[in-house]
Amino acid sequence: MAEEIRLEVEDGILRYKGSRMWILNPYAIAELQKEMRRIIGPAHKTILFNGARKGAIRFVEEMLSSSTLARTVKRFGWGQRRIAEEICKVATRLGFGEMSVVSYDEKEDRWIIRVINSPVPEALESDTPICELTRGVIAGALEVITGKSYKVREIKCLAIGDEFCEFEATRK
């Protein structure tokens, strides 16, 4: 992984496989979510989801067009599930927690994605699921991988006492 990360110390730029990154403490994200909820109410979920979705689309498009992953996908003719599994590995390496594809039902176009050790719910207890950013990342990544839009629902969340966070993505 060290060869995939480059820090341009003089310019303060961190890159992962050529893409610009930023290390942010999960407590900062948790506090941001709390403040957004306090100030604007339930609409904060839509803002976080949409922002993360758009960012994931841009990142995954970049990954699938100009990286080693892009060349591997093309060379071996990987299908959608295999690509999604690799994107989950990238998310894991970037600190999202241990992200994996639990299942993919091609007939129903239904995905289950699990995240163990997700950082934000570790930093923020709640009585409802809170992983809007991760929901958006999953929706955006699947949109790029499949060319379809997905509704992503958090069905388990560490913040409400579940062992891990789990998401169900179904085609819109």
What are the start-end ranges of the E strands in the chain? 5-8, 13-16, 19-21, 98-105, 110-116, 150-156, 165-171
Per-residue pLDDT of the chain (172 residues; tens, 9 = 90+): 566 788 888 888 888 877 888 888 889 999 999 999 999 999 999 999 999 999 999 999 988 887 777 888 888 889 999 999 999 999 998 889 999 999 999 999 999 999 999 999 988 888 999 999 999 999 999 999 999 999 999 999 999 999 999 999 999 8
pLDDT reported for residue 22:
83
**By the 8 A CB rule, do 64 and 74 touch?**
no
- Going along the chain from its start, the domains and CATH numbers come out as 25-171 (3.30.1380.20)
**By the 8 A CB rule, do 140 and 55 touch?**
yes
Cross-strand partners of 116: 98
pLDDT reported for residue 149:
97
Virtual torsion, Cα 61, 168, 106, 141, nearest 10 deg: 0
Which secondary structure element, helix H or strand E, spans residue 122, and what is its range?
Answer: helix 119-123
pLDDT reported for residue 70:
80
